[in-house]
Structure 1
Amino acid sequence: MTMKTKRKNNAHAAAAAFSRTTSTRPGVQDAIRLVALEPISNFRDSWEVASSHYDAMLLAKGGTRLAELDRRREDLATDWRMAASVTKDQLLAIIIEWKFLKGKPRHALKPLLQSNSEASVIAASKLAFVAANAIPKKDKENRNNNDQYRENDEDTKRQIISAINHLCELKGVGPATASAILCLIRPDVFSFMDDEVIECLLPHKKRGYTLGIYMEVNDRCREIADQLNMDMPRRNKKRRKTTVDEEENDDSLSKEWTSCKVGKAIWACAIMSATNDENGLSAIFKNKS
């Protein structure tokens, strides 16, 4: 079987999978098409195009309000490096508002969320941050050592679960909200639990927000990130930054893919499809069959 034939079969399989899914979110079919491009490492350009449209799709989905909330949410990562915890106001006014505007609002949860004390939010988030930051960063050598990778990955999964569970001790906070926080401090190991990402990566399952479903989705995002990073040269030169932390966390300088970035690309592709952005989709799937 030729590579071209294999890609055609993958595309047909993706379409068939979508037709059998219980998906209710517009645009997921094209996100499934993106994930079906194989081998993934050969289609890094398609993923980069999808990722590059993320900010534009925020505007398309929720206007300037969502774009502003997304910027404020990203800024929290800097604050949290200093404070190492989340405040109740940050949780309610930024994280939850962003999550409800980007996805499906669940206003019935607001009384529960508001019932959490400031102290409980700070305490739970501190424990979650400690667990998340204890996860070792993955280097290229470790990634290429399959036995060592599998052993370390099981430890990583346990630590991911631990971090999420700490935040889920708060009233009204589930894995999706926890992931919206944790993907900011460790984007390499946490993706955000977007509805479109769930339906794209688990097309045969009913969309849900359990820890088990999050782990399946996040594991797949991490796998895709690893494949996109395969044999990718690292940049040795970086422009001067004002602090070491800024340099280490500047995603615009680092071309490496993360679990969080994969989730963003999948979401952006789905929104491009849902908003009939034919030019953007054409750029993603140009000469891809």
Structure 2
Amino acid sequence: MKDPRTFFTSGTPAQYEYVYNLYEEAVKLKAIQKNKKVADYLKLDKWYPQIYQTADNPTFQNELPKRIKSRGKDAHLIHEELVQCMKWKLARGKFSPRIKDLVQMNTPRLCITETKKAFRALLKKDDLSSAIQALCNLKGVGPAMASVMLTAADAEQCGFMADECLLAIPEIESIDYTTKELLNFVDQLKSAATRRVLRVCVPAWQVK
């Protein structure tokens, strides 16, 4: 199955698990491609959550989600964590000094205020749209960057808006970094997750 769009719509749970088990190897190759030290690249990656669990990989890499959860009803990010999220995201795409500078310009107080507002909207009100808008009040943060933080807070309600993921979804024709596109992206991820569950729980002949 060479076409990622076909894989997204028709991949079986076993195929998804097989691909996921190649994740760390793919990260190593990405580090080499970007001329980064593999050990440093993997260390940064392990700080951010891997949100899918398999029999062969039963542990989550979830330092950041644990920190967020430990703050209870006042869940938020501190400035250092915001900057780390930015580094994690830029490590996967094109490096942008401008975005790096803008993100670092946010004050610690503003960072806590807006991330607390966003996580409250997401975790208590299930309002992803308002959560995105709150994070976009931070300098250097758009919907794609917001998706990084919101996925760390609750991976069942959001997903990282990576270019590769967007291009793998048939219903998304082009890359558009907007709130509307992120909401559509998350809907497509949830639909795909539902299809995978159905294929596990229901005989194949019952799944269209």
Query: TM-score when scaled to structure 2?
Result: 0.79
Residue of structure 1 equivalent to 2:82: 91
**Match of 1:218, as an amino acid?**
V
Q: CA deviation at 1:49?
A: 0.9
Aligned counterpart in structure 2 of residue 211 of structure 1, from 166, 179, 193: 179
Matched, 1:66 2:44: no
Partner amino acid, structure 2, of 1:176: A
Cα distance in 2 for residues equivalent to 1:102 and 1:45? 26
| Displacement of 1:194 | 0.5
Task: Pick closer, same or farther for the CA change 1:55–1:130 going to 2, 3 Å.
Answer: same
Aligned-residue identity in percent: 25
Please state how far the C-alpha of 1:66 moved relative to its aligned partner.
2.5
Output the CA distance in 1 between the equivalents of 2:200 and 2:119: 29
Q: Report the residue type matching 1:89 in the other structure.
A: E
Map of 2:20 onto structure 1: 51
Match of 1:104 among 94, 106, 111: 94
**C-alpha offsets along residues 172-221 of structure 1, whole Å, 9 cap, x if unaligned?**
10111111111112111111000101111157633221111111211101
Secondary structure class of the residue paired with 2:91: helix
Do the aligned residues in 2 keep the contact of 1:198 with 1:217 (CA within 8 Å)? Answer: yes
Matched, 1:176 2:164: no
Runs of 5+ unmatched residues, structure 2: 32-37, 49-61, 202-208
* Cα distance in 1, alignment partners of residues 114 and 176 from structure 2: 24
CA contact (8 A) 1:66 1:102 kept: no
Opposite residue 100 of structure 1, the aligned amino acid is L
Classify 1:36/1:115 alpha carbon distance in 2 versus 1 (closer, same or farther; 3 Å): same
- 1:32 is aligned with what amino acid? R
CA contact (8 A) 2:13 2:200 kept: no
| Residue in structure 2 matched with residue 80 of structure 1 by the alignment | 68
Say whether residues 1:30 and 2:3 are aligned partners. Answer: yes
Mark the runs of 5 or more structure 1 residues left unpaired by the alignment. 1-10, 12-28, 136-155, 234-289
Displacement of 1:108 after TM fit?
Answer: 1.6
Q: Which has the higher helix share?
A: 1
Task: Please identify the structure whose Cα radius of gyration is greater.
Answer: 1
* Normalised TM-score (structure 1): 0.58
- Counterpart CA distance in 1 for 2:15 and 2:111 is 39
- Whether the 8 Å contact between 1:128 and 1:163 is mirrored in structure 2 is yes
